[in-house]
Amino acid sequence: DQQVKQNSPSLSVQEGRISILNCDYTNSMFDYFLWYKKYPAEGPTFLISISSIKDKNEDGRFTVFLNKSAKHLSLHIVPSQPGDSAVYFCAAGGNQFYFGTGTSLTVIP
């Protein structure tokens, strides 16, 4: 059973606009959440994280929002750039992390 779900396998956005990637989780005990970015032929790289005591964390163009009651988190990228085109994985857990299946983001110049 998938404990972390990314229901959109792909997303296309125009350069300069906002990209919103979504992630849902099922276990209310999860208390730490991360986003990773993955380019082809490379391993995932850490992007941004948030703990359950916060509802927002911002790092430059990237902001992660956490809605604990809805068990939902989202990643906002503003403004989107062509170099952001990659697969984005969300992960949730604490001692052990569960990953979603990824969302492939394409930023169109």
Partner 1 sequence: DSGVTQTPKHLITATGQRVTLRCSPRSGDLSVYWYQQSLDQGLQFLIQYYNGEERAKGNILERFSAQQFPDLHSELNLSSLELGDSALYFCASSVSGIYGEAFFGQGTRLTVV
Q: Which spans of this chain sit near partner 1 (rule: CB under 8 A)?
A: 2, 4, 6, 32, 34, 36, 41-46, 49, 51, 89, 91, 94-102
Minimum CB separation of residue 15 from partner 1 in Å reads 27
Beta bridge pairs of residue 98:
92
Minimum CB separation of residue 35 from partner 1 in Å reads 10
Minimum CB separation of residue 58 from partner 1 in Å reads 16
Residue burial 70-104, b: 16+ Cβ < 10 Å; e: rest: ebebbbbbeebeeebbbbbbbbbbeeebbbbebbe
